[in-house]
Chains A and B, each alone.
Chain A
């Protein structure tokens, strides 16, 4: 199915963003901070980095799980670097970020699944930049309630955990240690631990799911109290991952957006190029009813100021 890509998977890369993207890459490499943008071969990278937006990947760059949709290297990771939270906080400061999105690899090798390290990273950012909001996209920690409690206690504003796909396809698409019911239970637990938390989850479309199955997954996520739902096209990062079963047209993403809103999700991001961390600040503001700023980047972000004065473009298909 991968074959020729449909028109809606064309990403316009503004030439003016090039130098900013290069500087961002150099800074992150110099600070030794992996990003999911790079590791996942995210097609939004040149747009997001060009606007000074980045999603950090903490806990190292080797995952203990081998999900079949994901290009992040898997294997036996080294112990988490205790200096990483400090480096992360300094980079957040340098980049002038006020909405910080963190994600991490799975750390099944650690007794707490990496919960304490994740919490340390959130605390470091909040101490260094007290007015920054932190969105934490979490692994399932094997369902360990204490690990989830540790992360929640560190004070993230939004916590996410991805269901990724429908029930039937979960064993095919995700690592055997992940699970549809486990993920729903993680999302329910997060809300129980702090009902004020905004929770978020994502589903990849185009893996072979049916309309009924997708409707069921959305209903299950809503029943688990999820506030923000992200629906995006599955894109094969390299020939080693699962092939795309279907390219879902933008009109269908729009219909799913309407349906998700009708189901009661306060925040919906739906479109072929939507990803969990994509337009994360906007999705949060939508949920809490804050007005959106005129540009995607915080005015204080140096990386943004160095761009030319054109308003950031929203490429076709970015939002349903």
Chain B
């Protein structure tokens, strides 16, 4: 869960020994509505591109990693404000 009770973290999933992935693109902009289960971002590892879903219905409130930037499994890349 998020650092505050009113946001839900978007987390890069565990991908085994993969240590670093590239955030390819955000599929939603900050401020845009998202539905739980809707694709919000894509991250790329050597073997595949992983589509990350919104953990909750609401507004994409924060995007912490920019497109082309690197991130890691387990890292919070953004937050959804449920609504």
- Co-complex (A, B): yes
Q: Which residues of A contact B (CB under 8 A)?
A: 2, 5, 9-18, 21-22, 25, 35, 37-43, 45-46, 49, 71, 235-239, 273, 310
Interface size on B, residues (CB 8 A): 25
Residues of A within 8 A of B11 (CB): 18
Q: Which 8 A-B pairs have the closest CB atoms?
A: A38-B16, A43-B48, A235-B47, A15-B55, A15-B53, A46-B13, A43-B47, A12-B51
Q: Which residues of B contact A (CB under 8 A)?
A: 10-11, 13-18, 36-37, 39, 42, 44-55, 74
Can you give 6 contacting A-B residue pairs, CB < 8 Å? A10-B48, A10-B49, A10-B51, A12-B39, A13-B53, A235-B48
Do B13 and A9 have beta carbons less than 8 Å apart? no
Whole-angstrom distance between the Cβ of A7 and the nearest chain B Cβ: 9
Residues of A within 8 A of B17 (CB): 38-39, 41, 71
Whole-angstrom distance between the Cβ of A117 and the nearest chain B Cβ: 23
Whole-angstrom distance between the Cβ of A11 and the nearest chain B Cβ: 5
Residues of A within 8 A of B37 (CB): 14-16, 310
- Provide the bound-state CA to CA distance between A91 and B71, in Å: 31
Do A9 and B49 have beta carbons less than 8 Å apart? yes
Residues of B within 8 A of A2 (CB): 46
Residues of B within 8 A of A310 (CB): 37
Extra inter-chain contacts (16) besides given A10-B51, A41-B16, A43-B48, CB under 8 Å: A2-B46, A9-B47, A10-B50, A12-B51, A13-B13, A13-B50, A13-B51, A13-B53, A14-B37, A14-B53, A41-B45, A43-B50, A46-B14, A236-B46, A273-B48, A310-B37
